[in-house]
Structure 1
Amino acid sequence: MTAHRTAALLAAVLLVAGAPATARAHPGPSRLADVRVLAHFDRAAGQAAESIAPQPGGGAVIGMIPARQVVRVAPDGAVQVLVTMPLPPGGGGTTPVVGAPVVTGVARSGSGDVYFLYSAGQGALTGIWRLGRSGEPRLVVPLPADTMPNALVIDRDRVLVTDSADGRIWQAPLRGGAASVWSADPALAPDGFFGANGLKIHDGAVWASNSDRGTIVRIPVTGGRAEVRATGLAGIDDFDFTGRGDEILAAINQASELVRVGADGSHDTLLDAADGMQGTTAVVVRGHRVYVTNGANLVGNDSNLLVAELRR
């Protein structure tokens, strides 16, 4: 695989956990204000910011590709490496599609444990890992070596994970154990590169983005066929709901943009390269605070975490 193709894939990876919202009508679209960089990361060392798990007090935990790290960003912007995952035996790059081993999605449980995804392709390392208060990572849900786990969401006593290589959503017990395929709907499948990517639980349904197809789809939590809710979002990575019904903020990796997607599927750009977007990978909304990561894989070299005020 060429270096260009590997970089393109790494830029497309992402995940984060979302908060449910009640669907109801609201006047006018949401906007962002007071956008600022909370933390800059060491892109030369592989710290391409990927996914976001906010923490109480205004900090966040971030997954880093291809540094294979999980880091904590304090409310004042200080960065602490929590874990660097080991390379598989021989240090080979066998991860599906990507080639290189990567840490992708992160999530934080109600008890404060950090869950994250590692894809290594060999060495029985691929799966869902838990970083407890002891600081030692533990593989709690193994996944097949030919999967590309990307985003994860904690849904009460289970975890849901997108598989970008095969276009599936896996489920597993939060406490750990065996994983099973929850959905393999054709709407999740890749179209030559990366399929199901971002993932959220919202309004009685599982929502997922498809990077290749530029779509956001909705699947009832009780199961069933996927419904396409938005199109024309080529290179979409992660997304989250604003709290105004089905309104969404979406990270568009390839275009380095953060866009607002209306409940009717229409979309407009809120932040772009002029605002410092460089390979935008993830977005999380918590109340009136918005977190946005830029991985700087395809353009630029400023991997960072932005914060902004959401004005509804």
Structure 2
Amino acid sequence: MRLRASLTTLAAATALLTSATTATAETPPVSTPRIANHFDLAASQQPENINVDRTGTAYLTFSFARQVVRVAPGGRAHVLATLPAPAKASTPNLGKAFIGGIARADDSTLYVTYATGTADLTGIWAVRPGGRPHRIAALPADGLPNGLALDQRTGRLYVTDSVHGVIYRVPVRGGKAVVWAEDEALEPSAFGGANGIKLHHRAVWATNLDKGTVLRIPVNARGTAGPVQVRATGMPSIDDFAFTGHGNTLLAARNDNQVDLVRPDGTHTTVLTAADGLQTPTSVAVHGHTVYVPSAAYLTDKDPNLLVAHFDR
């Protein structure tokens, strides 16, 4: 997610980046992109993060609407939960309440990060089927919890904090959050640091929005963090991402209206652009041969949407 309230400055920077790129529309192995859903910007329906189940149903966070929604294939957004509004939001860099990452457990429980700048609401929230949302762990009110990943094998959640530039770990049953990883590579240099996060092959992978990097952090035998490894660079405004399969190839959303294919050697190619319908893309999901890309329109102020495309494995 693009940070800070001064979006005018950021939009100008994005325009320069966009004008410098030579990327065009869809590029193999991604093809036939289309907008599956258009959302209502006036209602703050700006999709920040996504999780897709085995049926192809997408679960999204609407960041500034404070909502968790479900979108079945061919269907409209159905609101599953709306998190309580703070008495007075003072979220760092944003100023208003923000729902970020989302993870889904096998029992269909959804977990989301919530930042309000207040101690009573900021943290990780659980949304169980048919139940009311409730907070399972508090996080620092002066931070910005953002990306979220679930390790079902160990029953732990991993959370990026884009302001403090750390990764927290929290038991899925709830409890105290501890700093699992901290390193200069996770810290912000301007707007926000650690952002997207995924678990993959006994490692935690994360992005740094400011530094345009993809990072890999091994999970040691005792569950502690190993040394941070920089696996890819040169992707300004990188947000969240998804692996395309069992290997280390991934697709990364960039707020400057691009989705990049990042190969295991760190090289990357733009495969989707604004010409395909991107409007500040924020995250990616891959299910079978389908790629899902939510766009929040943070910088474009038009047509927040959910794009789907074919991925040729």
Superposition TM-score, scaled by structure 2 size: 0.88
* Equivalent position amino acid for 1:286 in 2: H
- The separation in 2 between residues aligned to 1:116 and 1:2, in whole angstroms, is 21
The SS at the match of 1:136 is coil
Is 1:243–2:264 an aligned residue pair? no
Alpha-carbon distance change, 199 to 132 in structure 1, aligned in 2, over 3 angstroms: same
SS in 1 for 2:226: coil
C-alpha separation in 2, matches of 1:246 and 1:274: 27
Structure-2 residue corresponding to 1:34: 32
Superimposed CA distance per residue, residues 2-38 of structure 1 (whole angstroms, 9 cap, x where no aligned partner)? 85349959xx9xxxxxxxxxxxxxxxx9611232222
**Offset of residue 287 of structure 1:** 2.3
Per-residue deviation, 1:246? 1.4
Letter in 1 for 2:307: L
What is the 5 A alignment of 1:124-139?
A: 124-139=120-135
Who is 1:209 aligned against?
A: 207
Show CA shifts across 1:147-183 (max 9, x none). Answer: 2110111112100000001100000111111110000
| Residue identity opposite 2:35 in structure 1 | V
Question: What does residue 307 of structure 2 align with?
Answer: 306
- The number of equivalent residue pairs is 291
What SS does structure 1 have at the residue aligned with 2:176?
A: coil
Computed over aligned residues only, the root mean square deviation of the Cα atoms, in angstroms, reads 2.0
Instruction: Measure how far apart 1:241 and its partner are.
Output: 1.1
CA gap of 1:137–1:284, structure 2 versus 1, over 3 A, is: same
**Aligned pairs for 1:1-80 within 5 A:** 3-5=5-7, 31-80=29-78
Secondary structure in structure 2 of the residue aligned to 1:66:
coil
Distance 1:171 1:6, change over 3 A: farther
Give 1:163's aligned residue. Answer: 161
Shift of the 187–105 alpha-carbon distance from structure 1 to 2, 3 Å rule, reads same
Does residue 153 of the first structure (1) align with residue 149 of the second (2)?
Answer: yes
CA separation in 1, counterparts of 2:139 and 2:156? 15
Change (3 A) 1:7 1:282: farther
Out of 61, 80, 83, the residue aligned to residue 82 of structure 1 is 80
**Residue 194, structure 1, aligned to residue 195, structure 2:** no
Change (3 A) 1:3 1:178: closer
Q: Does 1:219 align with 2:217?
A: yes
Which runs of 5 or more structure 1 residues have no equivalent in the other structure? 13-28
SS at match of 1:238: strand
Contact (CA 8 Å) 1:282, 1:292: kept in 2 or not?
yes
Displacement after TM superposition at 1:300 (Å)? 4.4
Task: Tell me, yes or no, if the aligned pair for 2:102 and 2:112 is still in contact at 8 Å.
Answer: yes
Q: Counterpart of 1:145 in structure 2: which amino acid?
A: A
Structure 2 CA distance for partners of 1:226 and 1:175, relative to 1, 3 Å:
same
1:40 is displaced (CA, Å) by 1.2
1:30 and 1:242 in contact (8 A); partners too: no
**Relative contact order (alpha carbons < 8 A, sep ≥ 6): 1 or 2 greater?**
1
Residue 19 of structure 1 corresponds to which residue in structure 2? none
Q: Distance in 2 between matches of 1:246 and 1:114?
A: 26
